[in-house]
Structure 1
Amino acid sequence: MLELVKGTRLPDKEEYPGLGSSAGIGLDVVKCLQREWAVDFDWHKEEAELNKYHHFTADIENLTIHFIHERSRDKAAIPLLLNHGWPGSFLEFLPVINDLTEKATTSTGKPVSFHVIIPSLPGFTFSSPPPANWTVDDTARVFHTLMTKVLGYETFATFGTDFGAGPAYSLYENFNSSTRAAHFAFLPFFPLSPDQLAAQNITLSSKLEQSEEQNFVNWVTTGNAYFAEQATKVSQANVRNFI
C-alpha cells in the first residue's frame, strides 16, 4: 500500500483552477496527504503511542474481544465503558483516557474519576468478526459479560457515539441493574415525526422542543443523504464487511 501511495502520479496543475474545494478535493491537499503518508508518517512512533496503554483480549461467546483497560488510582473510580463509532475504532477515545482516569470535581463539588474500558466492536480492528446474523443487542450482551464477568465490575456507566450508541443504549435498556448510567453523542432511534406526534395527540409546548423537532424535520428532508446512501443494499454489503 505504501508503495502504491508513493507511486501515484498527480497532475501538475488543478483541473478546474479557481473553484477550490467546491469541485472536489484540491490538488494541494492531495499532495499534502500523499507526502504525509509516504514520507512524514512514522509508524514506529504511532506504535509506541498505542503501546502506552494496556491492551487486552478476552474470549467471549467464541469471539476474541480486544479492549483497553486503564484504571484510575482512585479506589472509588466509576468503571466507564466507551463505545466507538463506525467506521472508527478505539483510537477515537485515546485523547481522553488520561483526563478521565485523573480525579476531577463535578459542578456540585463532588470528586469523580473513572476506570476506562474501551473495547473494539466485533469485527473492528483487533476484535474478531461476529456471525452474519449478529445484532446490536448481541454486542451489548458480550460487552456486559466483559464488564461483569471478565473484569468483575458489578456496576458501571457507558457512553456511545455513532454506531456505538446502539450497544450503549442496549446495555442500559437490557442490563440496567449493572449499567447504572448512560450518555450518548448520538441516539440510535429517530424522534417522532409531526404526523406521529399528531396521531398520538402530543403537543410540543416549549420553544426548545419545537425547535428540536424542526431541526429533525430539516435533517430528514434535506440533510440525510449520506445516511440514506449507507442504508442501500450495496452499502449494506460493505457494512457487513466491517461489523
Structure 2
Amino acid sequence: MSSDAILPFHLAVPEDVLQDLRDRLSRTRWPERETVPGWEQGVPLDRARALIDHWQNDYDWRRCEAALNAIGQFTTEIDGLNLHFLHRRSPHPDALPIIITHGWPGSVVEFMKVIGPLSDPVAHGGKPEDAFHVICPSLPGYGFSERPEQGWPVPRIAKAWIALMKRLGYDRFVAQGGDWGSAVTTAIGASGDPSVAGIHLNMLVVRPSPEDMANATDQEKASLESLQRYMQDGNGYSQQQATRPQTLGYGLVDSPVGQAMWIYEKFREWSDCDGEPENALSRDEMLDDIMLYWLTGTGASSARLYWESFRSFGTDKVTVPTGYSMFPKEIFRASRRSAERQYPNIIHWNELDRGGHFAAFEQPELFVQEVRTAFRPLRSA
C-alpha cells in the first residue's frame, strides 16, 4: 500500500476500555477539600466529585463516537507520522478549502458544532458562496494522531498540514487556528507556500513594543493586566509541560480523575463562563474532549509540544492576508498596532462581546460568522 494513502478511520473503542475507565473512577482516592473557598487552589472537591459522578454514571461516550464517525474520519502518513483528521467535503463544488487546528487542552471535538455550518451553509441558513471544505487534523501526539519522536516543533507540523491539504487535492486553501492552532496557522501563513491564500486566528500572541507600553490605550492596559495575571497565577501548567512533560504524564495517563481535572480547570479559567465552566459548555461536551486525552493516553505526548515549541510560539512574520477575531475572555488579547508589525496584511479585525479561548466550542455561531467574513474577500482572488 502506498505510504501516501488516505484511509478511512472508524472509531470503535472496545467496551473493556470503557469498563476499565468506570472501574478506575470507582476507585478514586480523593484528597481532602481545599482550604479556601472557590477555585483559588484549583478545582474544588465538590465540583470535582460532581463531574466525576456524571462521567461514571451518566456520560455516554458512544454518542460522541458516533458523531465523530458521522463527520468523516481519516488517517494518512506524512513525514513518517500517521496523522488523524476529520474531513467534510462541502456539497458546493466551489467551496474554499480550510484547515482548522486545535490546541491544548483542546481536540477536534471543539469543531463538531461548526463543521456543518461551514461546509453546508445553506442547510444552516447561510449562503452557498460561503461554503468551505473542512479539514480538522489532530496535532501530533494528540488524539488519534501518532506520537512523534523528538523533533516535531510547530514549523514541521505546519509543513505536514500543507502536505495534507495538497494530498487531499486542495491546491489553494486557507487556515484557521487558536492556541497551538494559532502557532501552527501562523507558521502556515509564514511558509511562503503559494497554496496558502490566507489565515484567520482567534488567539494572537504578539509582544508589545516599549512604545506600545509607554503609550498604551485603555484596551491595551486591560490586556497587559490580564497577561500579567496569567503570568503570575495562571501559567504553572505551561511551565510544567514545557519542562517536565514526562513526569507529569505518569499521573495524567494513569489517573482519569487527574487527567480530567487538569483540563476541567482550564475550561473554567479560559472560557467566558462567569466562573462556572458549565455556563459555557455542558459537562458532556467537556468530557468529550477529556475522553480524547484519556482513551488515547496522550497526557504526556500532548504536553511535549510545549517542550518542543513553547519558547518560540508563533513568532514568524506573516504577509499573507490575515484575519483576527478577539473574543473577550481569551488569554491574550492583542492590540492592532502590535499585531500589524508581525501581521502587516490584516484584512479582518473584530472584537466580539462574548466568548473565550475555546471559541468554536463556546460560541459556534459567532465563530462561523467570523470565519466566513474574514475569508470572503479571498474567494475570488
Range class of TM-score, shorter chain: 0.7 to 0.9
3-state SS of 1:51 partner: helix
Letter in 2 for 1:155: R
Compute the displacement of 1:196 (Å).
5.4
1:194-205 alignment runs, 5 A limit: 195=210, 197=212
Compute the displacement of 1:38 (Å).
1.2
Indicate the residue corresponding to 1:232 in structure 2: 239
Indicate the residue corresponding to 2:163 in structure 1: 145
Compute the displacement of 1:134 (Å).
1.8
Change (3 A) 1:228 1:196: farther
1:1-243 alignment runs, 5 A limit: 1-8=21-28, 19-21=37-39, 25-103=43-121, 111-148=129-166, 150-187=167-204, 189-193=205-209, 195=210, 197=212, 210-225=217-232, 228-232=235-239, 235-238=242-245, 241-242=301-302, 243=305
For residues 131 and 221 of structure 2, the distance between their equivalents in structure 1, rounded to whole angstroms, comes to 37
3-state SS of 1:218 partner: helix
Q: State the identity %.
A: 30
> Aligned-residue CA RMSD in angstroms?
3.0
Deviations along 1:76-133, one digit per CA (max 9) or x if unpaired, are 10001000011211111111111101235xxxx8831110000011111111122312
For residues 186 and 114 of structure 2, the distance between their equivalents in structure 1, rounded to whole angstroms, comes to 21
For residues 51 and 234 of structure 1, the distance between their equivalents in structure 2, rounded to whole angstroms, comes to 31
Letter in 2 for 1:78: L
Larger mean CA deviation between 81-90 and 229-238 belongs to 229-238
**Unaligned stretches of 5+ in structure 1?**
none
TM-score of the two chains, using structure 1 as the length reference:
0.80
C-alpha contact 1:90 1:120 (8 A) present in aligned 2: yes
C-alpha contact 1:168 1:182 (8 A) present in aligned 2: yes
Letter in 1 for 2:173: F
Deviations along 1:45-75, one digit per CA (max 9) or x if unpaired, are 2222221121111111100011111011001
For residues 34 and 237 of structure 2, the distance between their equivalents in structure 1, rounded to whole angstroms, comes to 30
Compute the displacement of 1:14 (Å).
6.9
Change (3 A) 1:176 1:48: same
Letter in 2 for 1:7: R
Change (3 A) 1:223 1:9: closer
Compute the displacement of 1:238 (Å).
1.6
Larger mean CA deviation between 56-65 and 223-232 belongs to 223-232
For residues 78 and 234 of structure 2, the distance between their equivalents in structure 1, rounded to whole angstroms, comes to 31
Change (3 A) 1:228 1:10: closer
For residues 183 and 212 of structure 2, the distance between their equivalents in structure 1, rounded to whole angstroms, comes to 24
Higher Rg? 1
C-alpha contact 2:155 2:187 (8 A) present in aligned 1: yes
Change (3 A) 1:161 1:23: closer
Compute the displacement of 1:36 (Å).
1.0
3-state SS of 2:117 partner: helix
3-state SS of 2:70 partner: coil
Compute the displacement of 1:26 (Å).
4.4
Larger mean CA deviation between 113-122 and 233-242 belongs to 233-242
C-alpha contact 2:85 2:136 (8 A) present in aligned 1: yes
For residues 188 and 41 of structure 2, the distance between their equivalents in structure 1, rounded to whole angstroms, comes to 43
For residues 45 and 244 of structure 2, the distance between their equivalents in structure 1, rounded to whole angstroms, comes to 32
Indicate the residue corresponding to 2:251 in structure 1: none
3-state SS of 1:147 partner: helix
C-alpha contact 2:83 2:138 (8 A) present in aligned 1: yes
TM-score of the two chains, using structure 2 as the length reference:
0.53
3-state SS of 1:111 partner: helix
C-alpha contact 2:120 2:128 (8 A) present in aligned 1: no
Higher relative contact order (CA 8 A, sep 6+): 2
For residues 177 and 87 of structure 1, the distance between their equivalents in structure 2, rounded to whole angstroms, comes to 31
Larger mean CA deviation between 134-143 and 123-132 belongs to 123-132
